[in-house]
Structure 1
Amino acid sequence: MVAKIRNIKSTETKAFTVMHFFCGSGGGALGFQGATEEYAGLKGSYRTLGGIDVNPRCCEDFKYLTGVKATCLDLFDRRDYIDFHGKEPGTEWHEVGIKEILEASNGEYPNVVFLSPPCKGLTGLLSEEKANTKKYQALNRLVVRGLFLSLEAYKKNPPDLYLMENVPRIKTRGKSLLHTVKGLLRSYGYSVDDRDHDCGEIGGLGQHRKRYLLIARNQSKMPNFVYIPPKQRVKAIGEILDKLPLPDEPIAGPMHRLPKLQWKTWVRLALIPAGGDWRDLEKIAHESYWLEHIPRGSGSHGVQEWNEPGNTVTSKRGGSGSTASNVSDPRLKERAGRHPGVYRVVKFDEPSPCVTGTRFGSGSPAISDPRTGFKEGTHKAIYRVIRWDKESNTVTGAYRPNNGALSISDPRFKCSSRDGTMGVLRFNEPAKCVTSGDIHSCSAAIADPRIPKDNESGVFVIISTDGTWHRPLTTWELAALQGFPLWVRGKPLNLSGSSDASWRERIGNAVPPPAAKAIAKVVLRGLLLASENAWELSNEAIWVSPKVDWNEVRLMS
């Protein structure tokens, strides 16, 4: 139920400006750019002034995705720079001031400031002991430093709203920081509200992603309500991935390549049930499982059965990157004039036939060499693996298996890894929160029911007992779960650089664009009404009330 109190005369579309601090790769900026609102005869949108980040790669991503420049600035003060880096800054470094902040926003004063300060020292992915070190405490204090610089830079024409996004654990690990942040905002005339939300619910993502959001409203410039975004259905991860090509298909670009894992890691993934993680491996009776080879014969180097119908004849040659064009031919009879050394394997203790200049397949002989490559007197424990249930050989001072150090076939898979390590996600359920880690540190694998027809990429395809392929998520798929556009100007998404680890970190740290868009729309509704001195009555849930609470009054008095 909405009741308009004042007549609204404006019919033009209004563009409100937004500035992004600690902008990262521009996920939040994408959301604001995509947000438009038409409400009670008013139309509005956003214009991005710019972004600020210390990471040059993030600044390149911001420009690539939004078309707007991001300025590379280090917002540390001198003390925190030293605490974080463990050394004095170089002569080229200086503390950023108000002048640089105004230059980054092209001399304009934004209507909205969106901050997404570093959360590494506040997240549960970091141990409490490490989080309390000087380095990460300095990183945490950037939230206060960045906020203060923006408040001072835009003091002549304060922003209507401040939004600050972070991890929920900021309320405990960063409790003192939040007390400072709220006090600072209130001292500049802002009413403050903070609460947690699920980005998956407000953005309609394919993952659950719990986040913290502080919203501060300038009471003199924006006296009306800001409402909470409506919840949407959280999609199953399969709804997102099923629309994408399988990993390693060239059409999707370099970010869709599968991580190269060790064979034992592929086996572990296959044994972990969908929805489970590393802890399920301890429950498995490993002696009751074995791997069965299923020959497919139609891929690279595929060899077809002599007594079976052949596969489709294609124009490609045999070998890597092509379809099968080989056959297991039982006819290997000597033909007239054929070189007697064709495919000849010479015994180690017999004379060699005449040495020719031809290759092995046409005359050059091969030898059955019994030598292992180890010299006389080599330590007997080289590459020795001791059984778990047997006594050990003599312990020597050797430090590697290849010169005598012993190895053990340890059946235990016990570690202190956190929940979700090597987690395998179900295809028909929402994913867990996308982080910057790989499968060894989080749930970043999927039980994919789409089995590749050919193994062209050199990765291992092990079909699990549930009939699906348990495989890592690609970086491109993680970006899809975060709501990033997968195609940019007609080409597959390709962030700055070439490192999957760096890409994943930036994607995991990003504000999901659809969640940012949902927040931007409800903020835009409030900005539109405030611009016309209009207000409304509604039964929707209120995010930031125009009423000043008594805590604010006591703090400001």
Structure 2
Amino acid sequence: MLKRTLTHFHLCCGLGSGAAGFSDSKPVLGPVQAEWRCLGGVDVDPAGLRDFQMMTGVSGTLMDLFTREQYTAFHGQQPPAGWKEATAEDLRRAASNEDPDAVFISSPCKGASGLLSETMSQTPKYRALNELTLRCVWLMCEAWKYNPVSLIVFENVPRLATRGRYLLDQITKLLRHYGYAVAETTHDCGEIGGLAQSRKRFLLVARHVEKVPAFLYEPEKRSLRAVGDVLSRMPLAGDIDQAGPMHRVPALQWKTWIRLALVEAGKDWRSLSRFAIEDGHLRDFVIVPDYQYGVLGVVDWDDTAGVVAGASRPMNDKFSVADPRPTNKFEYTQFGVLPYDRHCGVVTGQRSPGQGTFSVADPRMTDERHNNMFRVVRNDQTAGTVTAGQGPSSGGQAVADPRQPSKGFGKYLVTDYSKPAGTVIAGSTTGQGAFAVADPAYKTWHPNASTQKLRITPWCESAKTVTGSQQVASGALSIADPRPGMSRSKGDAYLTGGHYGVVEYSAPAGAISASACHDNGRWSVADQRMPAHNDRLTCMITSLDGTWHRPFTTLELAALQSLFDPEDHWSADPQIAHEIERMQRVRKIEQAGVFRLDGINDGQHRERIGNAVPRAAARAMADVFGMTLLLSEAGETFILSNISVWVQPVAIALSLAQQEVGV
């Protein structure tokens, strides 16, 4: 194809998003393809100009476009020594002394913004800022009055059409004086660029009638995308290792986090009015912490469970459920016992009592049963069948014998103190005969040891000698402690080791051990502190709709403004993703494609991003600009298309003089 190079220049260029969008454009008409080349830009912000060079590859020029009077009115003081007003010659020099085919003007819009009150907008400071629009247009017209710029686009906030009406009327007259056809319109940059945001902007477009006889058509409109279409292709907010420092979650005031969590998705602060407030507090809500990693978490019956891990235990995630079903349902219950009038569940290959409801509460109590485990036969009844297993647990192998064991085999027998002992045999232990005696005479025959076994020392007495054997059974090593809180009851620290113990906020903690963890001691604290309403911190509060209501990160705002495409940085293609990861691993951040603006101040980054013209919208404008210039060079003044001429209605634009209506 034949190549045609078109040039563009930018006043109040900012970080260069609009310029980058123009350079992205490559319109085609028949066998001719046009390419846009950036001649540069001017701005008063040095950081923005460094971003401009990063975005376009072309150096910008630091230039203050105020007049001296405007500078004094805006800053409240005289300009510093050496300051001088910009001239038309300075503007040509900033464009490398070349004549651009298109000029993009995006002058400051704070004075006409709806965020500024009407009263403030009429102060000398903001009137001077608004007047910069007229000055930019005049400097541009004077700089290239001998070879006028073919197409001009002037971008600002929609309210400029009302607050700056007197300036727009002067701009229109000035442009017509220099031979331009002018049109004012309001466009949604989101629809022009196919963005995931709606961005209404004022656009004034001008076409030099003598140089460009062809009409300038509107960019094609597209459907707005969802925010998730862009954000889902980026790492999760806060992952600065993969996405860089611009992707950190902003630190907001605690009260702001609470408000964000309570705002309904898709609505704004006005939805907070639906809550009931009593004494300055929410009546119907409390804040409950979500334990880290969901430890001991219980999933609501109506919620979905999380990912089932290899170690799905209550201690490492939310692997418990609040089951509302009645407890008389025994299905899938370990050691479950079925009522006699119920049917059994599925009989599985593994059917022991510990694996399900494989036991039954049998009400039948007949004599013909086989439940002889540990059964004792009465002395006047017959014994059961003698089996090979003769233990008491094998059947009815025990008898209730009323006979006195004074004669015969006295296994473990204790001889009465008044009776003679049995025969002393070779095996004379207590388990082999009557070798124990009920001795009523208590003797302290080991006064220094045996009398102290398991002895409790009263609180008011002195302790005995501390010996080398420290067990409680080897001496008086226990004490009757009357102090409260030391009772040996279920759950105290002495019985349980303090597992899951919580220390009072006003009490000291115990000694810190090497294995200190919440489940092996008192390693939790009842912390009554809550952040102050103006404390700045980063939180993750689960909102009422189950999502995390959070602010956009600075990098996400840049993506929504189409300053960069996430696909170019975090590609789904495995080979590209692997290469990006490799380059990041060797710390070649720039080559790896992590988008980053100049400096480290998030507030300044966000201001420059918010002031930027969306890159995709600028490309759409450059497409129709390039098409118009190619048509004019080909001698065409009209194409049959369903796309509207930039001035409505089309029928009038075709029938009347171009200088008045058709642009």
TM-score relative to the length of structure 2 = 0.58
Q: Does residue 1:475 correspond to 2:554, yes or no?
A: yes
Matches within 5 A, 1:182-197: 182-197=172-187
C-alpha distance 550-244 of structure 1, shift in aligned 2 (>3 A): same
SS of the residue corresponding to residue 470 of structure 1 reads: coil
- How much has 1:538 moved relative to structure 2? 1.3
Structure-2 residue corresponding to 1:36: 26
Residues in 1 aligned to 2:165 and 2:5: alpha-carbon distance in whole angstroms = 36
Corresponding residue to 1:160 among 117, 137, 150: 150
Corresponding residue to 2:165 among 169, 175, 197: 175
Structure-1 residue corresponding to 2:130: 140
SS of the residue corresponding to residue 107 of structure 1 reads: coil
Structure whose alpha-carbon radius of gyration is higher: 2
Corresponding residue to 1:515 among 610, 617, 632: 617
Structure-1 residue corresponding to 2:630: 528
Residues in 1 aligned to 2:629 and 2:62: alpha-carbon distance in whole angstroms = 29
Residue type of the partner of 1:519?
A: M
- How much has 1:91 moved relative to structure 2? 1.3
Residue type of the partner of 1:459?
A: T
Structure-1 residue corresponding to 2:279: none
CA RMSD after TM alignment: 3.1
Matches within 5 A, 1:62-77: 62-77=52-67
Matched-pair contact (CA < 8 Å) for 1:61–1:496: yes
- How much has 1:83 moved relative to structure 2? 0.5
Corresponding residue to 2:105 among 103, 111, 115: 115
Residues in 1 aligned to 2:126 and 2:270: alpha-carbon distance in whole angstroms = 30
- How much has 1:491 moved relative to structure 2? 2.9
- How much has 1:551 moved relative to structure 2? 11
Matched-pair contact (CA < 8 Å) for 1:191–1:548: no
- How much has 1:57 moved relative to structure 2? 1.1
SS of the residue corresponding to residue 542 of structure 1 reads: coil
Matched-pair contact (CA < 8 Å) for 1:168–1:210: yes
Structure-2 residue corresponding to 1:541: 644
Structure-1 residue corresponding to 2:91: 101
4+ residue segments displaced more than 4 Å: 307-311, 328-333, 345-348, 359-362, 486-489, 544-554
C-alpha distance after superposition, 1:221-262 (max 9, x if no partner):
000111111111100111111111111102111111111122
Matches within 5 A, 1:19-418: 19-249=9-239, 250-285=241-276, 286-297=282-293, 308=314, 332=497
Q: Does residue 1:501 correspond to 2:603, yes or no?
A: yes
Residues in 2 aligned to 1:292 and 1:64: alpha-carbon distance in whole angstroms = 46
C-alpha distance after superposition, 1:516-540 (max 9, x if no partner):
1111101100111112223433133
C-alpha distance after superposition, 1:146-193 (max 9, x if no partner):
111111111121111111011111110000000011111000000111
Matched-pair contact (CA < 8 Å) for 2:180–2:208: yes
C-alpha distance 243-226 of structure 1, shift in aligned 2 (>3 A): same
Residues in 1 aligned to 2:544 and 2:557: alpha-carbon distance in whole angstroms = 25
C-alpha distance after superposition, 1:261-281 (max 9, x if no partner):
222221111111112222222
C-alpha distance 553-44 of structure 1, shift in aligned 2 (>3 A): closer
Matched-pair contact (CA < 8 Å) for 1:163–1:213: yes
Matches within 5 A, 1:446-457: none
Q: Does residue 1:466 correspond to 2:457, yes or no?
A: no
Residues in 2 aligned to 1:110 and 1:528: alpha-carbon distance in whole angstroms = 15
Residues in 2 aligned to 1:263 and 1:104: alpha-carbon distance in whole angstroms = 47
- How much has 1:331 moved relative to structure 2? 6.6
Residues in 2 aligned to 1:502 and 1:330: alpha-carbon distance in whole angstroms = 59
C-alpha distance 280-47 of structure 1, shift in aligned 2 (>3 A): same
C-alpha distance 550-47 of structure 1, shift in aligned 2 (>3 A): closer
C-alpha distance 458-332 of structure 1, shift in aligned 2 (>3 A): farther
Structure-1 residue corresponding to 2:353: none
- How much has 1:552 moved relative to structure 2? 5.6
SS of the residue corresponding to residue 83 of structure 1 reads: helix
C-alpha distance 293-223 of structure 1, shift in aligned 2 (>3 A): same
C-alpha distance after superposition, 1:345-399 (max 9, x if no partner):
9999xxxxxxxxxx9659xxxxxxxxxxxxxxxxxxxxxxxxxxxxxxxxxxxxx
C-alpha distance 298-279 of structure 1, shift in aligned 2 (>3 A): closer
Residues in 2 aligned to 1:308 and 1:205: alpha-carbon distance in whole angstroms = 44
**505-514 or 491-500: bigger deviation:** 491-500
Residues in 1 aligned to 2:610 and 2:274: alpha-carbon distance in whole angstroms = 31
Matched-pair contact (CA < 8 Å) for 2:180–2:659: no
- How much has 1:126 moved relative to structure 2? 0.7
Larger RCO of the pair (alpha carbons < 8 Å, separation 6+):
1
- How much has 1:109 moved relative to structure 2? 0.5
Identity %: 42
Residues in 1 aligned to 2:314 and 2:206: alpha-carbon distance in whole angstroms = 72
SS of the residue corresponding to residue 61 of structure 1 reads: helix
Residue type of the partner of 1:543?
A: W
Structure 1 portions without partners, runs of 5+: 1-10, 300-304, 312-327, 334-342, 349-358, 363-406, 410-456
TM-score relative to the length of structure 1 = 0.69
Structure-1 residue corresponding to 2:410: none
C-alpha distance 153-547 of structure 1, shift in aligned 2 (>3 A): farther
Residue type of the partner of 2:104?
A: F
